[in-house]
Amino acid sequence: MKPELASARAVSRGEAADTSYSVYTPRLEEARATVVLIHGVGMNQTVWSPQIEALTANYQVVVYDMLGHGDSALPTVAPTLDEYASQLEALLDTMRIERAHVVGHSMGALVALEFALKHPQRTLSVAALNAVYDRTPAQREAVMTRAATLGDAPLDTGVDATLSRWFGDPVPGHLTQAAQAVRGLLLSVDPVGYARTYRLFASSDDAHVGRLASLAVPALFLTGGCDPNSSPAMSRAMAAATPFGRAEIIANERHMMNVTDPEGVNERLLAFLAEASVEEAPHESINGERHD
């Protein structure tokens, strides 16, 4: 992770509709379109630093803090996915962005899919990274148990277990720096915002079951081959249920692959976005799967 990119390339930072955001200028005078990046639970907009330099080669990039994270407002006590999707809608309205490619990671993937389902006319494409979908009973029990332990106290306990799930146990030596950066984000998040958002994340794996058939935009479902909680099986199932979807699996990667393998993630995102940019009105399925 290279957080300094956020200050090096940001055109503007601001707050709109209780949302803290940053806009990054494209290196081309005429950007193809805008790409919005939505982080996961416990993170904030800086977690996308490894993607910003690559994406700004051709696109304007908008990153923002999800409700309850960073400098954005808290969600309601018992929020819904629609509340988080409405946050993005309000931000785009304020910025006068009519349409965008929407990319989300983990909880952000749920938000991205919810936004695309409710606002297809404003969605050029959607990419769901390390998304959850229709957990098994054992997976659901584990995540609900974790959610039940959360309160208003700072997250100084449970962080090591989270890092083990996301990076491996022990954390491989070459990932130590990335894991420490992610640890810092987890320890700095508002505990109330985290708890409210995580409870929603824990209970929303079935939010799109039975709805993806109506997703009328190009969709990429990208995950790591070694991510047990956002598994390849989940991405394949979502792609199979989506008219213009495909699954891609990055071998040997886990949940935080955007920081552990930014080159691999960026390569696939750029290829997908380039294809989606010329398929504004797709007419045939692009179902498929890529393995590396």
The catalytic site residues sit at 106, 130, 255
- Burial class from Cβ neighbours inside 10 Å (0-12, 13-18, 19+) for residue 192 reads middle
Termini Cα distance of the chain: 23
CB-based burial label for 56 (10 Å; 0-12, 13-18, 19+): buried
Q: Enumerate the H helices of the chain as residue ranges.
A: 4-9, 49-55, 81-95, 107-118, 137-148, 159-167, 176-188, 191-202, 232-241, 257-260, 262-277
At residue 56, what is the residue type? Answer: T
Half-sphere exposure of 95 (CA within 13 A, CB side): 27
Q: Which residues contact 167 (CB under 8 A, 6 or more apart)?
A: 175, 178, 179, 182, 254, 256, 260
Task: Give CA separation, 28 vs 25, 33, 43, 55, 97, in Å.
Answer: 9, 11, 29, 11, 18
- Give the whole-angstrom CA distance, residue 217 versus residue 269: 15
Residue-by-residue DSSP string for 91-145 = HHHHHT---EEEEEETHHHHHHHHHHHH-GGGEEEEEEES---S--HHHHHHHHH
